[in-house]
Every structure is written in C-alpha cells, then in structure tokens.
C-alpha cells in the first residue's frame, strides 16, 4: 500500500504510487506506525534532489525521523511552498538567495525566508491553505493556479491540469482577469524574474499533453 507522502500543489499529502522527480521534507509528520498526524512541523519546507552522495534511507518514515516527501516536479514543490535545500542543492540555493536578496533586502537568512514563505502559505483566518488572487497575464511558467479542487500549471500559452502521475489535459491560457494562485508570491516572483533550477520545472508529461476543448 502506498505511503501518504506524495505532495500535491495544495500541500496535501497523498497515498499514491507515483514518486515524481523531486524529494523533500517539512519535518516529522508521522507517528511511530507511519501514520500521518500533522500537515507540517515548523516553518521550514525544502525541496531536494532524489539522489545525493549515494545516501539512501530505508525503510521510509522511520519513527522519530523526518517524513520523506515526493513531488511530481519543481513546479509542484514551489506551489506547495518548498524552497531549494541548502545542502543537496547548494548551487540552486545560492542562486535562489541572490535573487531573493534583490527582492527582499536584509531578509536572506534561511529563517527569514522560511518565515515569509510560511506566512504566504497560511491563511491567517482559517489556518488553511492561502490562495493569492493574481493577474493571469503576469503569471510566469511554473506558477500553479487553483480552479476548485484542481491545480493547473502555467506553461506558455496553456494551462495544464496537474495529477499525481503527470499532466493530463491542457486548455488555452485565458487573457485578462485574475486566477487564484497556489504558488506563494515570493516564489512566483523568483520564477518571473528568471531564477532557474537544476531540477525539472515541469514533468515530461507536460510536453505530451494535448489541447482540450474545456474552457
């Protein structure tokens, strides 16, 4: 039976067999029997390489250790509010911090970054996931929008529907108006300003998705 450690763009933990292309953690979320007991532990959420220095954790979700998480791609990890890991993705992290410093002078320490992202993820009234209304024409590739219970990623002139196994539909990107955006504004600004990750921004299925008639 799949473990509930696959992450959606909404930040939800799903029990599905697909692993995805990005690894990460947000602290210990499971109990001694491997059952998920919380959505996060602390403010820090990081996205990592699947492989680093030959390290291998087995079995997963060991008692008292952090919960190993998996994401379809970098766009999914960013939408869920995870930033690059400073250890296994050192070069990505350094580029990220340089871009962050341009946008947030004096706020480049990991703790300050994590505190800001946590505020952008969390609705202060409901304590649930926070959505950000944003002009659709200003959304960069890799930003993820919420349309009801579905997540759609911006990809050029298209919106592509997210599933745990990949992208399964595409519709023309609307012009004008606003969308409810899952990707935290600070991370969306990084994408818009040209920050590039060494990890795949989009899963390869994005290139194989045909255009749907759905509006």
Neighbours of 192 (CB within 10 A): 15
Q: Are 215 and 121 in contact (CB under 8 A)?
A: no
The pTM (predicted TM-score) of the whole model is 0.94
Q: What integer pLDDT is reported at residue 196 of this predicted model?
A: 87
145 φ/ψ angles, rounded to the nearest 5 degrees: -110, 155
Q: What number is the average pLDDT over the span 122-137?
A: 91
Instruction: For residue range 52-106, list pLDDT tens digits in order.
Output: 887 777 788 889 999 999 999 999 999 999 999 999 999 999 999 999 999 988 7
Q: What integer pLDDT is reported at residue 215 of this predicted model?
A: 37
Q: How far is CA 163 from CA 94, 152, 168, 172, 195, in A?
A: 30, 9, 7, 18, 25
Neighbours of 30 (CB within 10 A): 23
Q: Is 76 helix (H, G, I), strand (E, B) or coil?
A: helix
- Mention every residue, 6+ apart, whose C-beta is less than 8 A from residue 97: 108, 113
Q: Is 194 left (phi over 0), alpha (psi -120 to 50) or beta?
A: left
Q: What number is the average pLDDT over the span 37-44?
A: 92
Q: What integer pLDDT is reported at residue 208 of this predicted model?
A: 83
Q: Name the residue with tokens 């994590």.
A: 114
For residues 10 and 110, give the distance between their C-alpha atoms in angstroms, rounded to a whole number.
23
For residues 83 and 74, give the distance between their C-alpha atoms in angstroms, rounded to a whole number.
9
Q: What number is the average pLDDT over the span 189-212?
A: 89
Select the more confidently predicted residue: 108 or 178.
178
DSSP H/E element including 162: strand 158-163
H helix intervals, the chain = 74-79, 90-103, 110-121, 185-192
Residue 170: pLDDT over 70: yes
Domain boundaries in the chain? 6-208
The chain-wide mean pLDDT, for the chain, equals 92
Q: What integer pLDDT is reported at residue 124 of this predicted model?
A: 84
What's the token pair of residue 52?
């680093």
Centroid of chain to Cα 62: 24
Q: What integer pLDDT is reported at residue 212 of this predicted model?
A: 67
Q: What integer pLDDT is reported at residue 79 of this predicted model?
A: 98
Residue 214: pLDDT over 60: no
């Amino acid at each position: 039976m799949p473990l509930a450690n696959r992450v959606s763009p909404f930040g939800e933990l799903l029990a599905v067999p697909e692993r995805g292309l990005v690894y990460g953690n947000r602290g210990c979320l499971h109990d001694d029997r491997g059952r998920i007991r919380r959505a996060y532990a602390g403010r820090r959420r990081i996205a990592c390489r699947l492989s680093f220095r030959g390290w291998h954790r087995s079995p997963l979700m060991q008692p008292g250790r952090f919960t190993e998480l998996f994401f379809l791609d970098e766009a999914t990890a960013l939408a869920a509010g995870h930033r690059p890991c400073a250890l296994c993705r050192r070069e990505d992290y350094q580029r990220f911090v340089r871009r962050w410093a341009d946008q947030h002078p004096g706020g480049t320490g990991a703790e300050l970054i994590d505190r800001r992202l946590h505020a952008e993820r969390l609705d202060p009234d409901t304590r649930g996931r926070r959505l950000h209304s944003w002009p659709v024409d200003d959304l960069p590739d890799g930003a993820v929008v919420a349309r009801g219970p579905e997540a759609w990623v911006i990809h050029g002139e298209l919106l592509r529907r997210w599933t745990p196994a990949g992208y399964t539909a595409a519709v023309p990107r609307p012009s004008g108006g606003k969308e409810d955006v899952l990707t935290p504004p600070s991370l969306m600004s990084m994408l818009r300003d040209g920050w590039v990750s060494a990890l795949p921004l989009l899963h390869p299925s994005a290139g194989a998705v045909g255009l749907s008639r759905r509006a």
